[in-house]
A and B are shown apart, each in its own frame.
Chain A
Amino acid sequence: DVKVTQSSRYLVKRTGEKVFLECVQDMDHENMFWYRQDPGLGLRLIYFSYDVKMKEKGDIPEGYSVSREKKERFSLILESASTNQTSMYLCASRNTGEIGDNSPLHFGNGTRLTVT
Chain B
Amino acid sequence: AQKVTQAQTEISVVEKEDVTLDCVYETRDTTYYLFWYKQPPSGELVFLIRRNSFDEQNEISGRYSWNFQKSTSSFNFTITASQVVDSAVYFCALNSGYSTLTFGKGTMLLVSP
User: Residues of A at under 8 Å CB distance from B?
Assistant: 33, 40-43, 45, 48, 58, 88, 90, 92, 99-102, 104-110
Task: Tell me, rounded to whole Å, the shortest Cβ–Cβ distance linking A17 to chain B.
Answer: 23
Contact of A104 with B50 in the complex, beta carbons under 8 Å: yes
Chief secondary structure at chain B's binding surface: loop
* A107 contacts across to B, CB distance below 8 A: 37, 44-46
B99, A102: Cβ atoms closer than 8 Å: no
Chain B interface residues (CB < 8 Å from chain A): 9, 33, 35, 37, 42-47, 50, 52, 91, 95-101, 103-106
CB distance from A95 to the nearest CB of B (A): 12
Contact call A42/B44, Cβ cutoff below 8 A: no
Cα separation A81 to B105 with both chains bound (whole Å): 25
Q: Name the CB-closest residue of A to B46.
A: A107
- Given the interface pairs A104-B35, A105-B45, the reply to whether A42 lies near B95 with Cβ below 8 Å is no
Asked whether A105 and B98 contact (CB < 8 A) given A41-B105, A42-B103, the answer is no
In the assembled complex, how far is the CB of residue A101 from the closest CB belonging to chain B, in whole angstroms?
7
A–B complex contacts, Cβ < 8 Å, 25 sampled = A33-B100, A41-B105, A42-B106, A43-B91, A43-B106, A45-B100, A45-B101, A48-B100, A58-B100, A90-B45, A92-B45, A99-B98, A99-B100, A100-B97, A100-B99, A101-B95, A104-B47, A104-B50, A105-B101, A106-B47, A107-B37, A107-B44, A109-B43, A109-B44, A110-B44
- Bound together, the chains give a CA A89 to CA B28 distance in angstroms of 30
Residue with the highest number of chain B CB atoms closer than 10 Å, among A43, A88, A108, A109: A43
- Pairwise interchain contact A43-B103, C-beta atoms closer than 8 A: yes
Kindly provide the distance from the CB of B54 to the nearest chain A CB, expressed in whole angstroms.
12
When the two chains form their complex, are residues A88 and B43 in contact, meaning their CB atoms are under 8 A apart? yes
